[in-house]
Amino acid sequence: MSNSRQGIGMTSARTRERLVQRLIDQGIRSDIVLNQIKNVPRHLFVDEALASRAYEDTALPIGLGQTISQPFIVARMTEALLAGFEGESVLEIGTGCGYQTAVLAPLVKKIYTVERIRELLTKTRQRLRDLDIYNVQFRPGDGWEGWRKYCPYDGIIVTAAASSMPEKLLQQLAPGGRLIIPIGPKGKQDLTMVVNHPDRFEQVSLGPVSFVPLVKGK
Q: Which of 76, 82, 34, 37 is nearest to 191 (CA)?
A: 76
Residue 69 annotated in active site:
yes
Query: What does the alpha-carbon distance between residue 33 and residue 22 come to, in Å, rounded to a whole number?
Result: 13
Contact 169, 142 (CB under 8 A): no
Is cis: bond before 61, omega within 30 of 0? no
Residue 126 contacts residue 111 (beta carbons within 8 Å): no
Enclosing H/E stretch for 8 = helix 3-10
Task: Give dist(CA 90, CA 155) in Å, integer.
Answer: 5
**Dist CA 204 CA 8 (whole Å):** 38
Of 12, 30, 69, 89, which is the active-site residue? 69
Residues that are catalytic: 69
